[in-house]
Amino acid sequence: MVDVVISGTVALDSIRTPFGEVKEVLGGSAVYSSVAARGFAKTGVCSVVGKDFPKKYLTFLNTMGVDTSGVEVKKGDTFRWSGFYEYDMNQAHTLDTKLNVLAAFDPKLPDAYRQSKYLFLANTDPEVQMKVYKQMKKPRFVMMDTMNFWIENKKEALTKMIEKVDAVVLNDAEARQYWETPNLVHAGRAFLDLGPKAVIIKKGEHGALMFTDGACFSAPAYPLEKLVDPTGAGDSFAGGFIGWLARTEDISPRNMRKAVIFGSAIASYNAEDFSLNKLKKITRDDIFNRYMIFQDIVSF
Amino acid sequence: MVDVVISGTVALDSIRTPFGEVKEVLGGSAVYSSVAARGFAKTGVCSVVGKDFPKKYLTFLNTMGVDTSGVEVKKGDTFRWSGFYEYDMNQAHTLDTKLNVLAAFDPKLPDAYRQSKYLFLANTDPEVQMKVYKQMKKPRFVMMDTMNFWIENKKEALTKMIEKVDAVVLNDAEARQYWETPNLVHAGRAFLDLGPKAVIIKKGEHGALMFTDGACFSAPAYPLEKLVDPTGAGDSFAGGFIGWLARTEDISPRNMRKAVIFGSAIASYNAEDFSLNKLKKITRDDIFNRYMIFQDIVSF
């Protein structure tokens, strides 16, 4: 039995930033978000890897307390992404994406996952997200992420998925693109009209906005002077967010605001090193310490 | 005797946005900031206009309670700016700038201004800013703005000015440009090393950051769903900020945080209509109402 189920990618990433370079390291949306959630709740991953996937990475996830019984090992190679960041770090530049085994991913949730109350559908094909969603018995809170590719190519399936979930989390460019508006307030409120109770728009170095019925919450970014690698920031944010909701069993808008800050705190740690190098080290105390700094940052 | 002195431009603006178009309307940095400050403190403007400047605009400023005895009327034409905004409203596109009488502006402060404790040097040539500064007897709090042109062309004079002031207010692109860094935290802290006690970086739709000794304050933008004209947003922000400090006679970092929110509240009203059309109508109650909404927006 796990408290939080996360479906998404498990990847081998090759990344270059002005602060260094790593090759074939552990990455992927489900990895970042599950390691971020693990401090708060028992988390299980639903994904697929190839036969080439290093066993040490699955072992690593298990030692982090992440359940990997939903990670299927299939014939073929693991999903790979390589990219780089310029000095401004705001935009990932993709050099190469190899879907490999992910291309034919047909998710099957272990029985131990289906009873879970919290589900995060990290960015993947919305039809795959729907397949995962339908296997859940009676989730209490479902959140989804998406990306420009699905907005451009599968908007109908994506919209059907949005109508089902309790919360949408996506970045500012995606929100503007979906609604063809430059105004994030307009975009946020329009998503609510589709059904979700909360819409969280991630703005990178500018923090995040959360829209709930009649209210807008603005969360700052943690003022990092040195950002080493932003990869996985959005996913660790989402993982920390849903982990906090599961831990407290409270999905009220008030508690979701706290969850946004916990997610932001964890995401800020994540950006301080490559891959999971920082996330694997932080304790719940570290997270609470940064939470309290956030309180100071916004207080007036 | 005035409480706040503001030096800067008085302009005739012609502006087009997706929501309309105006021609030869009252504008300029000193105008927006003094009308924003007037709700809190007696404000005087130091600037120059040409003989063509409509008397009704000076009368308007006076009925707003703004002292214009420091506005010199010189032979020639008034400073003019014309520009437009695309639908995203984040960037002003300049069509034409005619400096006219502003080109030879040699500021002379009326005696009634020189004793003031609060000075805002709105964006102009840093050498002109220095001339204004030197005419003040013993100001308690001096704040300055600047722009890309001076960073590129008069960096030395600009830096000398920065070293004198208590606070610098500028936008994110300018902060990055001055320090040649993409990282605003780095830029903000570097400005503090030059002498100012506070640095406020305006980020438009993303709010503002204020750096003071050892602390960072993040203020959200007011979530405006319809923004009619962003012209003067930064100046009305600065005017509201220094007006609040003058009103409370409190320049502590804690009170500066409140001033940032008051400035943001006033700037958000300003963007709801062209020229001073909205700013001239709002009451102190309106400002306090929006201040309280800001409290809700950031609370978690």
Domain locations in chain B?
4-298
Nearest CA in chain A to B215: A297
With residues binned 3-state (H G I as helix, E B as strand, rest as coil), the percentages for chain B, rounded to 5, are 40, 25, 35
Question: Could you write out the three-class secondary structure of B34-57?
Answer: HHHHCCCCCEEEEEEEECCCCHHH
User: If residue A119 lies in a helix (H) or strand (E), which one and from where to where?
Assistant: strand A118-121
> Given A89, A182, A261, which is nearest B300 (Cβ)?
A261
- Nearest-Cα distance to chain A for B243, in Å, is 17
Cβ count near A95 (within 10 Å): 12
- pLDDT the model gives residue A226: 82
Does B20 have pLDDT greater than 90?
yes
Does A90 have pLDDT greater than 90?
no
Residue B296 three-state SS: helix
Query: Which residues are within 8 A (CB) of A103 and not within 5 positions of it... i.e. 6 or more apart?
Result: none
d(CA A251, CA A107) in angstroms, rounded, equals: 27
Phi/psi at A23 (5° precision): -130, 135
pLDDT tens digits for A35-82? Answer: 999 999 999 999 999 999 999 999 999 999 999 999 999 999 999 999
Closest CA to A174 of A187, A190, A159, A193: A187
- Nearest-Cα distance to chain A for B49, in Å, is 36
Nearest CA in chain A to B88: A182
**ipTM of the complex, rounded to two decimals:** 0.91
pLDDT tens digits for B220-270? Answer: 999 998 899 999 999 999 999 999 999 999 999 999 999 999 999 999 999
pLDDT tens digits for A179-234? Answer: 999 999 999 999 999 999 999 999 999 999 999 998 999 999 999 988 999 999 99
> Given B182, B185, B298, which is nearest A223 (Cβ)?
B185
CB contact under 8 A, A296 and B261: no
Q: Which amino acid is at A140?
A: R
CB contact under 8 A, B89 and A182: yes
Does A91 have pLDDT greater than 90?
no
Cβ proximity of B35 and B24 under 8 Å: no
Residues from A contacting B (CB-CB < 8 Å) are 87-90, 182-186, 189, 203, 205-207, 209, 215-221, 223-227, 254, 257-258, 260-261, 294-300
For residue A56 the two structure tokens come to: 């040490």
- Nearest-Cα distance to chain A for B66, in Å, is 28
pLDDT tens digits for A270-294? Answer: 999 999 999 999 999 999 999 999 9
Confidence of residue A3 (pLDDT cuts 50, 70, 90): very high
CATH code for the part of the protein at A4-298: 3.40.1190.20
d(CA A96, CA A111) in angstroms, rounded, equals: 35
Nearest CA in chain A to B252: A300
d(CA A204, CA A222) in angstroms, rounded, equals: 10
DSSP A113: H
Nearest CA in chain B to A260: B300
Q: pLDDT > 70: what percent of chain B?
A: 100
For residue B96 the two structure tokens come to: 């034409």
Does B175 have pLDDT greater than 90?
yes
CB contact under 8 A, A185 and B223: yes
d(CA A54, CA A71) in angstroms, rounded, equals: 13
CB contact under 8 A, B260 and A220: no
Cβ proximity of B170 and B201 under 8 Å: yes
Q: Which amino acid is at A225?
A: E
CB contact under 8 A, A225 and B185: yes
- pLDDT the model gives residue A111: 96
> How does the average pLDDT of chain B come out, rounded?
96
Contacts of B221 in chain A (CB under 8 A): 218
Q: In whole angstroms, how large is the CA radius of gyration of chain B?
A: 18
d(CA B87, CA B92) in angstroms, rounded, equals: 11
